[in-house]
Amino acid sequence: MAGKKVGVLAVQGDVSEHVRAFLDALGGEGEVVEVRSAADLAGCDAFAIPGGESTTIARLIGENGLREAIRSFTGGIFATCAGMVIVAATINDTRFLPLGIVDITVERNAFGRQKDSFEADLAVLGLEAPFHAVFIRAPVAAAAGPGVEVLARIPQGIVAVRQGKHMALSFHPELSGDLRLHRLFLAGL
C-alpha cells in the first residue's frame, strides 16, 4: 500500500468521507486526490466512485469528460452504493448507460426509499469478523458474471463483489469507521 495514489470522484456524493477513509487506510504512506477531470485521474493507482445519486453522478461523469477516462483506467476501482450502479454491466434503469467495468447486473434502490435504509453485520469473504455495513437507498447485484468473486450477500441479493483489481459494494464502508474493506481493496492493487 505504500506510496499509492488514490483518486476519489468528486462530482457528487460522500466525497469527504471517502477521502478521509482512504487517507486513514493508507496510514500516511500515500496520497488521496479529488478527481473532477480526466487530468486529475492521471497518475492514480486506484479510483473511488462514492455513493450519492447514480443518475446525477452518471450525468456529471459525462459532462466532465470522465466516461472514457474511467472506462480505460488501468488501476483498481472501489465503487460504493451508487458507484456500484455506475460500474455495473447492466442496470434496471434506462436513464443512463453504466460503465460496464464490473460484470454484474444491478438493481437500483433495491430496498426502497430513504426511510428503508438499514445497517447489518455481514460475513465478508477475506475478513475474519463480520463487517458492520450501512445501506442507504442501496442497490443489490442480482447476478454476477463468471469472472466476478462474490464477497458478501444477503437474502435480497449480492452486496459485495471483486473482479480483478475492482471492488463494488452496495453499502457505505466509509461510514462504518472500519477500514478493513479499504485495506483489502488496496492490498489487491
Helix, strand, or coil (residue 22)? helix
136 is an annotated ligand-binding site residue: yes
Helix, strand, or coil (residue 140)? strand
**DSSP E strands, 1-49:** 5-9, 31-35, 46-49
49 is an annotated ligand-binding site residue: no
Task: Give the cell for residue 108.
Answer: 437500483
- 107, 166, 174, 182: the active-site residue: 174
- 18, 44, 107, 172: the active-site residue: 172
Helix, strand, or coil (residue 68)? helix
**CA–CA separation, 146 and 72 (whole Å):** 21
Q: Is 18 a catalytic residue?
A: no
Task: Give the cell for residue 97.
Answer: 448507460
- 81, 107, 166, 182: the active-site residue: 81
54 is an annotated ligand-binding site residue: yes
157 is an annotated ligand-binding site residue: no
Residue 137, sorted as left (phi over 0), alpha (psi -120 to 50) or beta, turns out to be left
Q: Is 63 a catalytic residue?
A: no
52 is an annotated ligand-binding site residue: yes
Q: Is 81 a catalytic residue?
A: yes
20 is an annotated ligand-binding site residue: no
| Residue numbering of the annotated binding site | 52-54, 108, 136-137
| Residue numbering of the annotated binding site for L-glutamine | 52-54, 108, 136-137
Show which residues are catalytic.
Answer: 81, 172, 174
